Amino acid sequence: MPRQIITTPNAPSSPLYSQGVKAGPHIFVSGIVGIDPSTGSLVEPAIQAQTRQALANCEAILQAGGAGLDDVTEVGVLLTDPADFAVLNEEYARWFPTDPPTRYVAKLGVDLPGLLVSIRMTAFTG
Q: Mind listing the pLDDT tens digit for each residue in 28-84? A: 999 999 999 999 999 999 999 999 999 999 999 999 999 999 999 999 999 999 999
User: pLDDT-derived band of residue 2, with 50, 70 and 90 as boundaries?
Assistant: confident
pLDDT at 124 over 90: yes
**Enclosing domain of residue 78:** 3-124
pLDDT confidence of residue 110: 87
DSSP secondary structure code for residue 14 in this structure: B
Domain with residue 58: its CATH number is 3.30.1330.40
- Exposure string for 31-52, b = 16+ CB within 10 A, e = fewer: bbbbbebeeeebbeeebbbbbb
- pTM: predicted TM-score of the whole model, two decimal places: 0.96
> In whole angstroms, what is the distance from residue 43 CA to residue 54 CA?
10
- Mean pLDDT of the chain, nearest integer: 96
pLDDT confidence of residue 111: 86
How many structural domains does the chain have? 1
> Quick one: average pLDDT of 7-35?
97
